[in-house]
């Protein structure tokens, strides 16, 4: 575990959905720090998946993930047109005196996907 | 050279008690079942036909020949659900040791398949289970503590003592565990935070991994540095010194504490238990037996007075039944006496056409359906049968 080096960043993913009527919505991945003890035990696989998804080496996963989110849009009465995958992160930095600091949270959109009609009703 | 060969042969091919392997099979089956049940709400999101990652994408990212039943299943979520239920049922049957070989194969194929279907949600414990599951196929997993053994005893193929077996596959799982620790240690040597002693700080400050709160004094830089280096020393010891018999239990105890502390502090479901399950294989069968006897001495008095069972040893069927009861009587609640040893009850045993067991109770000898009820009450493994025996006794008394 945690080799050769543990992560030095706290982070989580979310997705922004732009509907055809121009309104927007957010799709939240399960955040371990906001779940109950029992929920986070069963949903931990999402944390692992998010870790992989945020890695550009696995960019081939992004279209599938965007399509999945489009099919599970928070508002089923609207049709999503665009999915944006967003990474939020805060670096852990070691100070000169041996203590550590969490740097402020930052965000960036790392993938945009234009949703096609067939993405919503796959065969 | 001959000495090395002798050690090799002794380790892999000497006949040993299969008891530790049987405990491992039970632990393994339970771990697989719990893993599946934890995943249950997400069977379709992770493995369905329109999952987070399609089968096609997985094949593109991880090409090559892979053991993945999803590639031959019809693209239908109902088939995916069916596969999971078959997997769960098979894991249960493996746990109780029914058709152990067949179920170890089914469990391995299903486990490998769900892992290959989505490799990006796995942790080291999952991989450990998969590899151990492969070796379990070749191990005599049902040789003890299993329904398979009860069937063999009932059929007269085995007696009440567990026969010794060659356990090369168990040796492979032991080596696997040792290599996991050793490889982790070597891998950590390449990471600067582990060498400078800051690794645990990062680990315990990742919100996404935190489980239960830790006391502040444990999060002091000095303590975390000590913890970081201790973890490395321990992983090296678990990979090497575990083979030194004299030190084994101390190392295993330290490993147990290490994994339990991680289970408390970090949210990595089942990983610690997956690793700990293989510790059972390093316990001497005699010590396992001693530990069980210790438990029996303490639990026994809570289960009521021991029951004396008299039987006619001339009847082959009765001997098999007695052997079966000896195997089932894990808390040693029954004392068996072949006819001729119980004085005046000998004649009674012979009169019952050699087929009946006679129980000595405080109100005198007991026969027939009452015997079944008393035996079911005395043997915890038969407790599920108590209601059936009770109703049968009541029905017979009404007739």
pLDDT in tens, B326-348: 999 888 888 888 875 444 444 44
Among B135, B167, B199, the domain boundary falls at B167
Structure tokens at B296: 């029996």
The chain A residue lying nearest B207, using CA atoms, is: A33
Do A32 and B42 lie within an 8 Å CB cutoff? Answer: no
Please report whether residue A61 resides in a domain.
yes
Among B138, B167, B196, the domain boundary falls at B167
User: Which pLDDT value is given to residue B354?
Assistant: 53
Best to test chain A binding among B39, B53, B123 (most A CBs inside 10 Å): B53
Do A94 and B198 lie within an 8 Å CB cutoff? Answer: yes
Q: Is A79 an interface residue toward B (CB < 8 Å)?
A: no
Top pLDDT among A85 and B63 is at A85
Q: Which residues pair with A15 in a beta bridge?
A: A27, A85
Please report whether residue A74 resides in a domain.
yes
Do A64 and B57 lie within an 8 Å CB cutoff? Answer: yes
Q: What is the ipTM of this complex?
A: 0.92
Best to test chain A binding among B43, B46, B119, B120 (most A CBs inside 10 Å): B120
The chain A residue lying nearest B190, using CA atoms, is: A4
* Closest CA of chain B from A21, distance in Å: 26
Nearest by CB to residue A4, choosing from B122, B123, B188, is B188
Q: Kindly list the residues from chain B whose CB atom is less than 8 angstroms away from the CB atom of residue A94.
A: 198, 201
The chain A residue lying nearest B55, using CA atoms, is: A64
Do A58 and B61 lie within an 8 Å CB cutoff? Answer: yes
Residues B308 and B162 in one domain: no
Please report whether residue B256 resides in a domain.
no
Compute the residue count for chain A: 123
Q: Which alpha helices (DSSP H) does B241-337 contain, by range?
A: 245-265, 271-277, 285-299, 316-328
Structure tokens at B215: 């006391």
Q: Kindly list the residues from chain B whose CB atom is less than 8 angstroms away from the CB atom of residue A37.
A: 211-212
User: Which pLDDT value is given to residue B335?
Assistant: 86
Q: Is B264 an interface residue toward A (CB < 8 Å)?
A: no
* Closest CA of chain A from B98, distance in Å: 29
Do A3 and B42 lie within an 8 Å CB cutoff? Answer: no
The chain A residue lying nearest B194, using CA atoms, is: A5
Among B167, B184, B201, the domain boundary falls at B167
Do B212 and A37 lie within an 8 Å CB cutoff? Answer: yes
Please report whether residue B213 resides in a domain.
no
Query: What span, in angstroms and rounded, lies between the C-alpha atoms of B99 and B86?
Result: 14
**Structure letter (DSSP) for residue A4:** S
Note the pLDDT tens digit of each residue in A21-59: 999 999 999 999 899 988 999 999 999 999 999 999 999
User: Which pLDDT value is given to residue B351?
Assistant: 46
Q: Is A97 an interface residue toward B (CB < 8 Å)?
A: no
Nearest by CB to residue B187, choosing from A4, A47, A67, is A4
Please report whether residue B314 resides in a domain.
yes
Q: Kindly list the residues from chain A whose CB atom is less than 8 angstroms away from the CB atom of residue B263.
A: none
Q: Residue B257, Cβ neighbours under 10 Å: how many? A: 11
Please report whether residue B117 resides in a domain.
yes
- CA neighbours within 13 Å on the CB side: how many for B300? 16
For chains A and B, CB pairs below 8 A equal 118
Please report whether residue A94 resides in a domain.
yes
The chain B residue lying nearest A3, using CA atoms, is: B188
Q: Is A33 an interface residue toward B (CB < 8 Å)?
A: yes
* Closest CA of chain A from B16, distance in Å: 33
Note the pLDDT tens digit of each residue in B110-147: 999 999 999 999 999 999 999 999 999 999 999 999 99
Q: Chain centroid to CA A50: how far? A: 6
Mean pLDDT confidence for A89-94: 90
The chain B residue lying nearest A98, using CA atoms, is: B221
Question: How many domains would you assign to chain A?
Answer: 1
Q: Residue A13, Cβ neighbours under 10 Å: how many? A: 22
Q: Kindly list the residues from chain A whose CB atom is less than 8 angstroms away from the CB atom of residue B208.
A: 10-12, 31-33, 47
Q: Which residues pair with B366 in a beta bridge?
A: B359
Nearest by CB to residue B187, choosing from A3, A11, A99, is A3
Q: Over 90: is that where the pLDDT of A63 sits?
A: yes
Quote the domain boundaries for residue B335. Answer: 304-398
pTM of the predicted model as reported, rounded to 2 decimal places? 0.91
Please state, rounded to an integer, the average pLDDT across all residues of chain A.
Answer: 91
Q: Kindly list the residues from chain A whose CB atom is less than 8 angstroms away from the CB atom of residue B210.
A: 32-33
Quote the domain boundaries for residue A27. Answer: 9-120
Please report whether residue B42 resides in a domain.
yes
The chain A residue lying nearest B118, using CA atoms, is: A49
Question: How many domains would you assign to chain B?
Answer: 2
Please report whether residue B243 resides in a domain.
no
Please say whether the beta carbons of B266 and B214 come within 8 A: no
Please report whether residue B76 resides in a domain.
yes
Q: Is B196 an interface residue toward A (CB < 8 Å)?
A: no
Please report whether residue A2 resides in a domain.
no
Note the pLDDT tens digit of each residue in B129-138: 999 999 999 9
Give the H/E segment covering residue B82: helix B77-96
Please report whether residue A54 resides in a domain.
yes
Structure tokens at A109: 């959109």
Do B199 and A2 lie within an 8 Å CB cutoff? Answer: yes
Q: Which alpha helices (DSSP H) does chain A contain, by range?
A: 37-42, 44-53, 62-71, 117-120
From residue A99, alpha-carbon distances to A102, B207, B231 in Å are: 11, 17, 21
Please report whether residue B219 resides in a domain.
no
Please report whether residue A4 resides in a domain.
no
Q: Is A105 an interface residue toward B (CB < 8 Å)?
A: no
Q: Which alpha helices (DSSP H) does B118-198 contain, by range?
A: 124-138, 147-154, 168-189, 192-196
Please report whether residue A3 resides in a domain.
no
The one-digit pLDDT tens for each residue of chain B (399 residues) are 889 999 999 899 999 999 999 999 999 999 999 999 999 999 999 999 999 999 999 999 998 889 999 999 998 999 999 999 999 999 999 999 999 999 999 999 999 999 999 999 999 999 999 999 999 999 999 999 999 999 999 998 998 889 999 999 999 999 999 999 999 999 999 999 999 998 999 999 898 899 999 998 888 888 999 999 999 999 999 999 999 999 999 999 999 999 999 999 999 999 999 999 999 999 999 999 999 999 988 988 888 788 888 887 777 888 888 889 999 988 888 888 887 544 444 444 444 455 567 776 666 677 766 788 888 888 889 888 888 887 777 777 776
């Amino acid at each position: 575990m945690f080799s050769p080096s543990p992560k030095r960043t706290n982070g989580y993913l979310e997705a922004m959905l732009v509907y055809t009527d121009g309104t927007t919505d957010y799709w939240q991945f399960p955040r371990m720090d906001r779940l109950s003890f029992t929920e986070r035990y069963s949903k931990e696989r999402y944390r692992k998946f998010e870790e992989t998804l945020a890695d550009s080496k696995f960019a081939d996963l992004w279209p599938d993930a965007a399509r999945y989110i489009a099919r599970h849009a928070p508002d089923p009465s609207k049709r999503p047109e665009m999915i944006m995958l967003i990474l939020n992160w805060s670096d852990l930095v070691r100070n000169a005196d041996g203590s550590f600091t969490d740097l402020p949270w930052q965000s960036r959109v790392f993938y945009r996907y234009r949703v096609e009609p067939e993405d919503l009703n796959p065969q | 050279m001959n000495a090395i060969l002798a050690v090799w042969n002794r380790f892999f091919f000497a006949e040993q008690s299969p008891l530790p392997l049987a405990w491992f099979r039970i632990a393994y089956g339970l771990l697989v079942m719990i893993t599946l049940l934890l995943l249950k709400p997400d069977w379709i999101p992770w493995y369905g036909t329109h999952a987070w990652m399609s089968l096609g994408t997985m094949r593109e990212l991880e090409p090559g020949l892979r053991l993945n039943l999803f590639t031959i299943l019809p693209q239908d979520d109902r088939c995916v659900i069916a596969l999971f239920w078959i997997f769960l049922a098979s894991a249960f049957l493996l746990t109780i040791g029914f058709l152990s070989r067949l179920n170890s194969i089914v469990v391995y194929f299903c486990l490998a398949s769900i892992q290959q279907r989505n490799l990006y949600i796995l942790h080291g414990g999952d991989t450990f289970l998969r590899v151990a599951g492969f070796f379990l196929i070749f191990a005599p997993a049902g040789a003890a503590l299993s329904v398979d053994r009860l069937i063999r005893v009932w059929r007269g193929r085995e007696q009440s003592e567990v026969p010794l077996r060659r356990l090369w596959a168990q040796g492979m799982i032991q080596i696997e565990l040792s290599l996991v620790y050793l490889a982790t240690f070597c891998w950590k040597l390449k990471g600067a935070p582990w060498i400078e002693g800051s690794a645990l700080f990062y680990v315990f400050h990742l919100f996404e991994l935190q489980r239960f709160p830790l006391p502040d004094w444990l999060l002091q830089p000095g303590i975390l540095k000590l913890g970081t280096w201790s973890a490395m020393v321990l992983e090296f010891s678990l990979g090497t010194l575990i083979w030194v018999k004299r030190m084994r239990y101390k190392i295993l105890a330290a490993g147990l504490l290490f994994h339990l502390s991680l289970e408390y502090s970090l949210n990595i479901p089942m990983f610690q238990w997956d690793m700990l399950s293989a510790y059972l294989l390093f316990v001497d069968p005699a010590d396992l037996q001693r530990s069980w006897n210790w438990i029996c001495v303490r639990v026994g008095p809570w289960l009521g007075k021991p029951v004396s069972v008299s039987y006619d040893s001339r009847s082959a069927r009765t001997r098999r039944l007695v052997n079966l009861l000896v195997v089932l009587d894990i808390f040693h609640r029954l004392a068996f006496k072949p006819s001729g040893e119980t004085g005046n009850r000998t004649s009674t045993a012979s009169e019952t056409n050699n087929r009946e067991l006679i129980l000595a109770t405080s109100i005198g000898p007991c026969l027939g359906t009452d015997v079944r009820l008393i035996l079911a009450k005395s043997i915890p493994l038969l407790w599920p049968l108590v209601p059936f025996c009770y109703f049968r006794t009541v029905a017979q008394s009404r007739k």
